[in-house]
Structure 1
Amino acid sequence: MVHRTEIAKAIEIVDGYVAYCPSPAPDHQTANRRLANLLERYAGAAMREGHECLTVNTDVDLRLRDLPLLNRRPDVALYRCLDRTRGERLRAEHTLLVAEIVSPGSETQHTTDKLGEYAKAGIPHYWIVRLDRTGVSVIERYRLDRATMLYKHTGTFMKDEIGETPLVSNPIPIVVDWSELEF
């Protein structure tokens, strides 16, 4: 018997239509988990420094709009803690950062479709993550321009660049340690 949660993990709702999402490849899943672990560690540090309650999740149901219905399942999401006692659903207004890992065949979806959908929904930060044979190799960072409701590219971190360790200050302070993102 197939449970509703199993079905929900295999679909997204785009403009009211069901879109099947096949399970990602093992390398994608490993990168996903390691990026979430990195973000979760820095979310914990931010909360210890007085930031509001934060949660990091992978493959979580994110409601971008109600009509027509648009639910996405980002690879990694950093968001404000939800009120579980009220059964609060994760929505764009709770979300601070969404990261999507590009896989073969998902380039357009992540660099065009989701980029526009997340921006229009008002999510402040979007990362496009690319892999090579050894793990995460590129992180393209975007920040929402509230005047246009479009993302502006704020920088690209590349694993093979020689120099300082990549630092991010928004939405929370994060140090990108490439060794934590290797397979």
Structure 2
Amino acid sequence: MTALPEDSWLLNIRPQPALVTAEEYEALPEEIARAIEIVDGYLAYRAAPTPDHQTAGRRLANLLERHARAAMAAGHGCLTVNIDLDLRLRDVPLLNRRPDVALYRCLDRERGERLRAEHVLLVVEIVSPGSETQDTTDKLGEYAKAGIPHYWIVRLDGTGVSIVERYRLDPASMLYKHVGTLMKDEAGGVPEVANPIPMVIHWAELEF
């Protein structure tokens, strides 16, 4: 067996001394919190998003926000869309994710209300080369167990968003059921989505 070099980072791995608590996480500076997620109290580093990933997130947020405003005008209540935001799924052991995009009911700013699963209507995660398992397996289970009604898994090609896999929560089993996949090159015109709010997906709006 070939020995690792003495300066290999693999030789410097240390166990996490204790689980991260909600209080400790909330005391972190924002620049640190943005770079990590907490899963069952354990720190998980988030790879810096690529420019394409960031652009896709903004495009999706803009599309969702436009339809959210129309939904509010139609009586759906106050809705907000944001990117790369702090989402508390559980306090003990701490489970804190930072989804790429989320559509959620407006928070009470005066009370400093924290974004929790019960506020969220839709979470969107954009798959990166290193996030396949997290986005399609880990988070699929976590968001469902937390009770978030809708989850989209988004994939990119060289020109922008190309695939949107849509999942809807089954309240009886607290598991997501796949309700359809939207594909940019698929025939049949401009796709329309009824839930969680009425939307029309214009692919040109999701290009880089």
* Same structural fold, with TM-score higher than 0.5 when normalized by the shorter chain: yes
Tell me which of 75, 89, 94 is aligned to 2:114: 89
| 2:89 aligned residue | 64
Say whether 1:24 aligns with 2:21: no
| 2:39 aligned residue | 14
What's the CA shift string for 1:28-49, capped at 9, x where partnerless? 0000000000000000010011
Tell me which of 154, 162, 172 is aligned to 1:147: 172
What's the CA shift string for 1:84-115, capped at 9, x where partnerless? 10010000000000000001111111000000
Runs of 4+ with >3 A deviation: none
Deviation at 1:19, TM superposition (A): 1.0
| 2:128 aligned residue | 103
Tell me which of 150, 167, 184 is aligned to 1:159: 184
Q: Secondary structure at the match of 1:116?
A: helix
Deviation at 1:164, TM superposition (A): 2.2
Tell me which of 29, 34, 58 is aligned to 1:33: 58
Aligned residues: 181
| 1:121 aligned residue | 146
Say whether 1:175 aligns with 2:175: no
Deviation at 1:182, TM superposition (A): 0.4
Larger Rg: 2
TM-score (norm 2): 0.86
CA RMSD of aligned residues (A): 0.8
Amino acid at match of 2:145: K
Amino acid at match of 2:169: L
- Greater RCO (CA < 8 Å, at least 6 residues apart): 1
- Long gaps (5+) in structure 2: 1-27
Give the distance between the partners of 1:47 and 1:85, measured in 2 at CA.
21
- Long gaps (5+) in structure 1: none
Q: Secondary structure at the match of 1:86?
A: coil
* % identical equivalent positions: 79
| 2:10 aligned residue | none
